[in-house]
Structure 1
C-alpha cells in the first residue's frame, strides 16, 4: 500500500494558505446555498476536508485538525486506517458484488462471525442478527418493531437525555424536545423515565441516592395500577448517553433496570450505536454492569467507517414474518469487510482496554483543571467518551452544586478549539457539554495536544468574557 504523507501525523499547529482559504470559502458558500437548513456539523465546522489519516484531518486550505469527533463515534480506528483500507481494496479487487440485498455472502458470514465473537458472555449462543438499513436509527426502528411484534404491545419506556435517532419511532424515544415540537403526537406511546444524571439530578440529590430514586420510581410507576402506564413492548437505554452529554449510567442502576424489566416480562433494548466497539473501555458498554439485554442495537463503528447497522437479539423474540423489516441497502459488502477488519483489530490489539486507561487519564487531568477553570462544571464519561460540561462560573450553584449551563460559552469554546486545530462538538443539555470522542488509536502525543488545545480554548474564552465584564 502507498504510505500516507507523514505531515498528517504531525500534531503541530498549521497556517493556512490565503489563496486556498478563498477557494475553500467559495466551496462553503456554494454548499450553504444548496443544502437544507437542517444541516448540522457543517455549521459548527466551516472547513472543507481534503485528506485524513488517523486522528488528523487536513482541509483544502492546508490546515490540519485533530479530530475529536470521529464521525460522532463512527471512526473507532480513526480516518483511513491501513487495516480498513486493505479490507476495502481487497474486496474491490476480488470482484465481490457490492450490492446483494440480503443474500448470504462470504463477507456477511465473516462479519457475523467476527461480531458474534465480541458479544457479551451468554448472549451470542442464542442470538439472531438482522441487517437493517445502513443507519442506527433504522436499527432502532427495527428493534421497536421486533419487540412490538413479539409482545403484542405498543408502548415504549425511554429516558430523559436519550438520543436514538431521527426517524419517527427513534425520535419519539429520544429526549430532545426541539426536534419533536413540530411533529404533533410523535411521543404519544413513550413513557419518559428519569435517567441518573448526577450533576443535574432529576430528583435534586445527585450521586448514588439519585440513581436509587430513579430505579425506585421506575419500579413503582410500572406496578401502580393507576400510574397510567400500559404494559410496554420494550425499554430502550444507553449505558452511556452520547448526544445527551456523555452521561454514564451507574452499573448498579443498569442492573436494577435489567431486574425490573425481566421480572415484568419487558424486553430490554441496549442502544450501543455510539458506545460499541471498545469506545467506553469495554467492547460493549453493557459489559461494565454485567447485564445481558434482550436486544442490542449497533451501528457506527461496526462498519469500519462505512454505513452498516444491525440488531442482535435473543432468538425467543424472532417472530417476524419474512419481509417484516426490509430495505434495499442491507447488503453493504464493503462495510461488512471494513467492519470485520475493525472488529478483529480492536479485539486483537486490546483497544478497549487502552480506551479505558487513556480515557481515565484524560478525565483525571480535566477534573484537576476544573479548580483552575471554574467554567468547567462537570467532567464525566467512560473510556474515550468524555464530556466536559461548561457552566456560568459567576452564577450561584443549585442544591446539587451545579451552576447554570452556559451554551454561549460552549459555542465560543468550540470555535476557539477549531481555531487551534481541534475539532470538538457539543451535546448535552442546552448544547453546553464539549464532547471528546477521539479514535481508540489516539497516541499519547495526540492526547496531550487535545488537552492542551482544549484547556487553552476554555481559558481564552473565559478570560475574554471576564475582561469584557470588567470593561
Structure 2
C-alpha cells in the first residue's frame, strides 16, 4: 500500500504544507484563512479519521463544518457516486434524468416534515437560502425580511443581507429591507427571558410593518452564532405570530439537517413545520448539493422560468440518495441523539470541573463549549490555543461564536462512543494544562 505522500505524488508534485501555504499567500484572496498557526496538510480521509502528509491520524470532530455526517470517503456512498460519475455526469435540469426525480420523490415521502413536498435543487447552502427568499417574495408579493441577530445564512446578496454576524457581512452596500430582532439568547439574561424578549420584538415589528414582510428566516440552532438553542416553545410562538400576518417561515437547516441534532431536521425538536426549508451540506456528504422545499401551494408561485445548470445533477442526486439510505439503514438520527447526548453530558461535566468553560449548549451531535478569557488572554485566543493543543493530541475541533470563543463539536454522526470519551479526556487534559499555566 502506498503512503499518503506517495499517493499524492502519483497525482501531482508534492510540495508539503509550507509550499501549499506559500501558494495560498500568492494566489488566494486575502479573505481566506485557516484555523491553525501550524496547519497540517490533509491528504486523506476515512470515516471519522483524517490523515496528514506525514501519515498522522486525526479524529475529526468538525466534519468539514457539518458536511460529512456519514463519514469521510464512506464506501457505501462513494461507490454509488463513482458508478454514476462513470455513467452520466451532467446534463443540466432542462433534460430528463431519473436520479433528480427519484431524490425529490424520496425527500417528499418520509424525509421532509409535514406537507413539504416540492423541491428545487441547486449547489450550496447560500444558493438554497437565496432561492428560498426569492420564493417567499414571489408567493407573498412582498419585499422585506425579518432575521435573528447573529444568524448566518450565506454569502450571496440576499443571504448576506439577512446574516447578522458582523464579520460575515462583507458587502458595504447590502439591502436595507431586513429587520433584525434579538435572538432568543443573551448571556446576561435567563434563557426564558431572552426568548420572551425576542418574541415581543417580533410582535412589535409585525404590528409596525407586517404587510411589507415576505418571510422570517431562522436557523433552528444558530451554528456560527455559538450553538444557540431556543427554548422548546419559542418557534411555536414565532410561527403563530407570523401566520397572523401572512409572513412565511424559512427554516435554514443547512448545518442542522439530516440527523445531526437527533432529529432528521432540527425544527422537529420544536414541533413546527416551516413554510420553506433549505438544505445542503450533509445531504451530499462532501459532494456539492443544495435544495429548498415547500408546499404545493407555495411552490405554485414560482412559475417564472428558472433553472440550475448543476443543481440536482445525476452525480449529486445519486450521492444524496445513497446518503439518505445510509442514514436510514444505520439509524444515524437515533445515533446522534444517543452518542451526541453522551458528548453533551461529557462537556457539561468538564464545565463543572473547569472554570474556563462558561457554558455548554447544543443538541445531538451539534454542541458548543464557550470559553472564558482573562486579563492576559481573550476568549478567542484561548479557543485558538485549545484547537492547537487538541490538534497535537490528534483531534480536529471547530470554533464559532460572535467572539470566536466557542469550541464547536459537529463530528461525523458515525463517531463511536469510544472516540467521544477519548476526545473528552484529551480536552480535560488540555484545559488542566491551560488553567495551571494561568495560576
TM-score higher than 0.5: yes
1:455–1:29 Cα change, 3 Å: farther
Q: CA deviation at 1:344?
A: 1.7
Any conservation in 2 of the 1:305–1:338 contact (CA below 8 Å)?
no
User: Aligned pair 1:151/2:153, yes or no?
Assistant: no
1:167 and 1:136 map into 2 onto residues whose CA distance is 10
Q: Describe how 1:289-304 pairs up with structure 2 within 5 A.
A: 289-304=270-285
User: Aligned pair 1:207/2:191, yes or no?
Assistant: yes
- Name the counterpart of 1:195: 183
1:66–1:372 Cα change, 3 Å: same
- Name the counterpart of 1:242: 223
Q: Secondary structure at the match of 2:104?
A: helix
1:103–1:331 Cα change, 3 Å: farther
User: Aligned pair 1:352/2:314, yes or no?
Assistant: no
Q: CA deviation at 1:45?
A: 6.9
What CA RMSD, in Å, does the superposition of the two structures yield over aligned residues?
Answer: 2.5
Q: CA deviation at 1:393?
A: 5.8
- Name the counterpart of 1:218: 202
Q: Describe how 1:111-260 pairs up with structure 2 within 5 A.
A: 111-124=103-116, 127-132=117-122, 134-180=123-169, 183-197=171-185, 200=187, 204-224=188-208, 231-260=212-241
Any conservation in 2 of the 1:276–1:283 contact (CA below 8 Å)?
yes
Any conservation in 2 of the 1:66–1:423 contact (CA below 8 Å)?
yes
- Name the counterpart of 2:26: 33
Q: CA deviation at 1:32?
A: 2.8
2:375 and 2:359 map into 1 onto residues whose CA distance is 15
User: What is the count of residue pairs matched by the alignment?
Assistant: 430
For residues 257-314 of structure 1, the C-alpha deviation after alignment (integer angstroms, 9 at most, x for no partner) is 1111111100110000110000000001111111111100000111132000011011
Q: CA deviation at 1:90?
A: 2.4
Q: CA deviation at 1:244?
A: 0.9
Q: Secondary structure at the match of 2:45?
A: strand
Partner residue of 2:392 out of 419, 427, 435? 419
For residues 439-458 of structure 1, the C-alpha deviation after alignment (integer angstroms, 9 at most, x for no partner) is 11001221122212222233
Q: CA deviation at 1:97?
A: 3.7
Q: Secondary structure at the match of 2:407?
A: strand
Q: CA deviation at 1:405?
A: 6.8
Partner residue of 1:73 out of 66, 76, 82? 66
Where do 5+ consecutive residues of structure 2 fail to align? 5-13
- Name the counterpart of 1:310: 291
Where do 5+ consecutive residues of structure 1 fail to align? 9-20, 396-403
- Name the counterpart of 2:435: 462
Any conservation in 1 of the 2:210–2:247 contact (CA below 8 Å)?
no
Q: CA deviation at 1:187?
A: 4.5
Q: CA deviation at 1:160?
A: 1.0
Q: Secondary structure at the match of 2:293?
A: strand
Using the size of structure 1 for normalisation, the TM-score is 0.86
Using the size of structure 2 for normalisation, the TM-score is 0.91
1:230 and 1:121 map into 2 onto residues whose CA distance is 27
Any conservation in 1 of the 2:217–2:249 contact (CA below 8 Å)?
yes
Any conservation in 2 of the 1:147–1:267 contact (CA below 8 Å)?
yes
